[in-house]
Amino acid sequence: MSGPSDYQPSHPAVKWLEQRLPIISLVHSSFVAYPTPRNLNYWWTFGAILSIMLGVQIVTGIILAMHYTPHADLAFRSVELIVRDVNYGWLLRNMHAAGASMFFFAVYIHMFRGLYYGSYKAPREVLWILGVIIYLLMMATGFMGYVLPWGQMSFWGATVITNLFSAVPYFGESIVTLLWGGYSVGNPTLNRFFSLHYLLPFLIAGVVVLHVWALHVVGQNNPAGVEPKTEKDMVPFTPYATIKDFFGVSCFLILYSWFIFYMPNYLGDADNYIPANPGVTPAHIVPEWYYLPFYAILRSIPNKLAGVIAMFSAIIVLVFLPWLDSAKTRSNKYRPLAKQFFWIFVITCILLGYLGAQPPEGIYVIAGRILTIVYFAYFLIVLPLLARIEKPRPLPNSIADDVLAKTGRATAPMVSTLIALFVASTLFVGGTGQARAAENQETPPSLSWSFAGPFGTYDRGALQRGLKVYKEVCSNCHSLSYVAFRNLSEPGGPGYSPAQAAAFAADYKIKDGPNDAGDMFERPGRVADYFPSPFPNEQAARAANGGAAPPDLSLIAKARSYERGFPWFIFDFFTQFQEQGPNYVAALMQGFESTPPAGVTIPEGSYYNKYFPGHAIKMPPPLSDGQVTFDDGSPATVQQYARDVATFLMWTAEPHMEARKRLGYQVFVFLIIFAGLMYFTKKRVWAAAH
Amino acid sequence: MTASTVDHPTRRDFLFVATGAVAAVGGVATLWPFISQMNPDASTIAAGAPIEVDLSPVAEGQDIKVFWRGKPIYISHRTKKQVEEVRSVPLSNLPDPATDQSRTKDGHEQWLVVIGICTHLGCIPIAHEGNYDGFFCPCHGSQYDASGRIRQGPAPLNLPVPPYQFVSDTKIQIG
Ligand code: FES
């Protein structure tokens, strides 16, 4: 389609370059003069959105790599230090983490669009297959990226996914050892994953170039699915498609920013804020939401090798799609039966995703099996059969006819599918949190926090009181090793002055050394020091606490969560509810009961707590009324302590929350203005084409 | 485009210009975090806080090297002879004229504290070497005297004196 360019350079320097390397005319013919069907709808903007997302991921990824340490002992901490200390580190990390999800969200829409409008059919088979390759590379990249923070989910996700290869007959074990570079997932694994995670995006970019090249050879498909015949069917890429794509991108950025600035942990798993521990597996291993449908297929097959084969086949089958569906009509708009089956297929995928997040038991397994069959049946039975029996509706004569027929008709179907899809995907994403439902755990009451919502800020008084409770009570057993004394005087924190923070630090004895004589020595704390740990190492902590090491509290407010359940997790997306952690901490502090309810036995050395998963907690009730006195007249009650300490721990887990929400507000004002301007600009530009 | 539309920009032009301007502002603002992240992070800045050094173990004629903000700091306990020498040099003989008095603290003239980084291209000079009983840079042969002043070689400037003060007679705080 992108025949010889009519680009005529006038500037002598450009002429000189053109004769030696016709790069400007190449760009001109591919992105300016390139004819694009005039009836493309907004589903077609996802190609541009994906290119932008790839760029965002590469740029933020390169930057994160400047600050990240790929070592099993240091990786988790280095990620935390990026978020806490690097200028705008929290922003870059949120962009990259939420960016991965947004990238997959966009790619799924792009794929379903291709599926619906038959974009894989001749002559676009190679274009489609290149897309499947990009998707596979994305999955590999996303998986390895998720391993890098080296939290519990990273570690166990890596273990489970690499173990898929142990299903290979005869060579399985050797392959897995090869992948790990050891006898278990460890430092060599992390190192190679980091290397490959850096490499693969550039491979993706390379295949994207091929994908775009193939696209420019065969031309874009369009909602009518008829090939363009005359000039009247087409508009030049610039300004028409460019401006429409930019409008699409600006709307997409609004959704993306919602996650970056307000819901950074909505798509993540609380367990990944616990450092990797090779000795303890989290109760439910759940992959990132974008792998869930395939994870469900894997689990619904009771044989290891067959399960792995089914999972990979579920993706590979896409490669053969152009030949499985041999119907001549491309667009499902003109295929009444195929259209219905398409939506059944979409719902199947969403439900499979939901099941992937559920514990593999009971009804979930049966439903998973049925849906797995439906998934494969769509490709292997329904599509080939429909091609033979379905009688398509008459196609429009040309793209121009299609546009004329549409003018004056409301675009309601498009909007309603958008809404339906959105609700469905929130349902799907929210389902990831469901896995904990099976545990018998009481739901902590939702308290009202000053830091909740889009304009939330920390209550300085509560932070200062919480710090006092931590110092006088919690710090006897719990470390706070990601928090430095200097943080106490940083903006958005407890609001101490640098001098107060220095005085606070000087109260502590910090182990330093070795000195010139080679000895370790103690000195008063400085603001650059971190809160010292009560125990020299984990073993000592374990030994002194009846076998259960008290966890570090720096991240506890993000590392603990609970089930919200349907339909709350959908509302949570809109209300920006992110306060499970502090709710849980506050509830746990008050959830001790000296006599467990009838029928519950608590082992020797443990205590009954209503909100602790499993109820038997090794920590004795830490707080009692009157234990800590406050100067500001706040009541010296356990309830007050619990609230204050939960506020304080939310701050230690998320020290830049105020900056994040403030910048989020500015970004939203900007994006809404920008998207509005883009909308009117787009209307103006397209007015000439109609 | 005809002259009349240039004279009377239409609403359409205004819309395009406004959209373009907002996009440009957004683009430039987005760049800032990506550049700012290259600066030292908060922990690096905090680690650059002042340090205290005990001078009592350093005998006359000896020197020690300490690190502050990742830079080597030479602390020399100079001999009487060295002090006299550097104080008697006429300033006109110096490429980068500065008195020894201005480079040391009154009442503590035996102590020289300088950042041990050659002002040529950043190598670390060796103490007690060279023709001036001061520092000699092995990289390209710059020679500094016992006051850390450049005397010979390609380096343009004296070794810089870091901010420091005496907390007591035998203790200094650098930074
Ligand atoms: S760096 Fe010292 S002489 Fe060149």
**Contact residues on chain B for A528, CB-CB shorter than 8 A:** 43, 46-47, 49
pLDDT band at residue A201 under the 50/70/90 scheme:
very high
What is the B156 CA–ligand 1 centroid distance (Å)?
A: 10
For A636, residues 6+ apart whose C-beta sits below 8 A from its C-beta are A625, A626, A627, A628, A629, A630
A165-197: string of b/e by CB count within 10 Å (b at 16+)?
bbbeeeebeebbeebbeeeebbbebbeebbeeb
Task: Choose among A87, A486, A674: nearest Cβ to B46.
Answer: A486
Structure confidence at residue A1 (pLDDT): 41
Does residue A439 have a pLDDT over 60?
Answer: no
The span from the CA of A290 to the CA of A93, in Å, is 19
Q: Which residues of A281-298 are buried (b: 16+ CB within 10 A; e: fewer)?
A: ebebbbbbbbbbbbbbbb
For ligand 1, whether the C-beta of B153 sits within 6 Å is yes
- Judge contact between A625 and A634, C-beta under 8 A: no
Question: What are residue B53's phi and psi, to 5 degrees?
Answer: -125, 130
How far apart (Å, rounded) are the C-alpha atoms in residues A121 and A77? 49
**Cα distance from B148 to chain A (closest Cα, Å)?**
26
Q: How many residues does chain A have?
A: 690
Tens digit of each residue's pLDDT (9 = 90 or more) over A249-286: 999 999 999 999 999 999 889 999 999 999 999 988 88
pLDDT digits (tens, 9 = 90+) for A507-544: 999 998 888 788 999 989 989 999 999 999 889 999 99
Q: How confident is the model at residue A88 (pLDDT cuts 50, 70, 90)?
A: very high
User: Is A127 in contact with A211 (CB distance < 8 Å)?
Assistant: yes
3-class state of residue A523 by DSSP: strand
Is B31 at the interface with chain A, CB within 8 A? no
- Asked if residue B124 has its Cβ within 6 Å of ligand 1, the reply is no
Cα–Cα dist A650/A585, whole Å: 9
Cα separation of A181 and A162, whole Å? 12
Q: Which residue is associated with the tokens 């469905």?
A: A424
- Does B120 contact ligand 1 (Cβ within 6 A)? yes
pLDDT averaged over consecutive 10-residue blocks of chain B (175 residues)? 46 85 94 94 86 90 90 93 91 92 92 94 92 92 94 94 92 90
pTM: 0.90
Is residue B115 in contact with ligand 1, taking CB distance under 6 Å?
no
Q: Which of B14, B35, B43, B45 to mutate to test the interface with A (most CBs of A within 10 A)?
A: B43
Cα-only R_g, chain B: 27
Q: Which residues on adjacent β-strands are paired with residue A511? A: A522
pLDDT at A231: 86
Q: Indicate which residues of B carry an active-site annotation.
A: 140
What is the sign, positive or negative, of the torsion defined by CA atoms of A176, A179, A184, A185?
negative
Q: How confident is the model at residue A2 (pLDDT cuts 50, 70, 90)?
A: very low
Mean predicted confidence (pLDDT) in A124-146: 97
- Is 80 exceeded by the pLDDT of residue A225? yes
Domain A34-436+664-687, CATH homologous superfamily name and number: Cytochrome Bc1 Complex; Chain C (1.20.810.10)
Strands A607-608 and A35-37: unpaired
DSSP string, chain B: --HHHHHS--HHHHHHHHHHHHHHHHHHHHHHHHHHTTS--HHHHHHTS-EEEE-TT--TT-EEEEEETTEEEEEEE--HHHHHHHHHS-GGG-SS---HHHHS-TT-TTEEEEE---TTTS--PEEEETTTTEEE-TTT--EE-TTS-EEESS--SPPPPPSEEEEETTEEEE-
Joined tokens for residue A377: 């049946």
Q: What is the pLDDT of residue A419?
A: 67
Compare all CA atoms of chain A with the CA of B24 and give the residue at the minimum distance: A674
Expressed in angstroms and rounded, the spacing between residue B123 Cα and the centre of ligand 1 is 6
CB A7, CB A213: distance < 8 Å: no
Cα(A127) to centroid(ligand 1), Å: 59
Residue A421 confidence class, pLDDT cut points 50, 70, 90: low
Indicate if the pLDDT at residue A563 is higher than 90. Answer: no
Q: pLDDT (tens digit, 9 = 90+) per residue, A661-671?
A: 999 999 999 99
Give the span between the Cα atoms of A204 and A688, in whole angstroms.
Answer: 37
Q: Is the CB of B150 under 6 A from ligand 1?
A: no
Q: How long a stretch of residues is chain B?
A: 175
Distance B171 CA to ligand 1 centre (A): 31
For ligand 1, what atom is nearest to the CA of residue B142?
A: 3
On whether the CB atoms of residues A227 and A221 are closer than 8 A, the answer is no
The four Cα atoms A643, A646, A651, A653 give a dihedral, to 10 degrees, of -170
Cβ <8 Å between A81 and B23: no
Judge: B47–A89 Cβ closer than 8 Å, yes or no: no
- Which residues of B are less than 8 Å from A674 in CB distance? 19, 22-23, 26
A530, A475 contact by CB (below 8 A)? no
Q: Which residue has the higher pLDDT, A4 or A680?
A: A680
Task: State the smallest CA–CA distance between residue B170 and chain A in angstroms.
Answer: 17
The DSSP code for A381 is: I
| pLDDT attached to residue B95 | 92
Q: Is residue A234 within a helix (H) or strand (E), and if so which, with residue range?
A: strand A234-236
Contact yes or no for A135/A103 (Cβ under 8 A): no
HSE-up (13 A, CA, CB side) for residue A479? 17
In this predicted structure, what is the pLDDT of residue B13?
83
Give the span between the Cα atoms of A300 and A129, in whole angstroms: 27
Question: What is residue A175's predicted lDDT score, i.e. its pLDDT?
Answer: 94
Partnered with residue B52 across adjacent β-strands are B173
Q: Strand order in B126-129's β-sheet?
A: B126-129, B134-136, B143-144, B150-152
Considering A189-198, A351-360, A529-538, the range whose residues carry the highest mean pLDDT is A189-198
The strands making up B71-77's β-sheet, listed across from edge to edge, are: B63-68, B71-77, B111-115
Domain A460-483+550-655 -> CATH class:
mainly alpha
Tell me the two tokens of residue A322.
């152009």
For an interface test with B, give the residue of A57, A68, A88 to mutate (most B CBs within 10 A). A88
Residue A361's pLDDT is 84
Name the pLDDT band for A416 (thresholds 50, 70, 90): low
Q: Does B142 sit in the ligand 1 pocket, CB within 6 Å?
A: yes
SS3 (DSSP) at A177: helix
Residues whose CB is less than 8 angstroms from the CB of residue B80 and which lie 6 or more positions away in sequence, other chains included: B110
Q: Is the CB of B140 under 6 A from ligand 1?
A: yes
Distance B125 CA to ligand 1 centre (A): 8
Where along chain A do the CATH 1.20.810.10 domains lie?
Answer: 34-436+664-687
Domain span(s) for CATH 1.10.760.10 in chain A: 460-483+550-655
* A527 closest CB neighbour out of B15, B29, B49: B49
Chain B nearest CA to A289, separation (Å)? 28
What mean pLDDT comes out for the span A552-581? 88
pLDDT at res. A436:
45
pLDDT of residue A408: 52
* Mean confidence (pLDDT) of chain A: 91
Q: What is the DSSP string of A530-598?
A: BPPPSSSSHHHHHHHTTT-PPPPSTTHHHH------TTHHHHHHHHT---HHHHHHHHHHH-B-SSPPT
Tell me the percentage of chain A whose pLDDT exceeds 90: 75
Residues A639-661 pLDDT 10s: 999 999 999 999 999 999 999 99
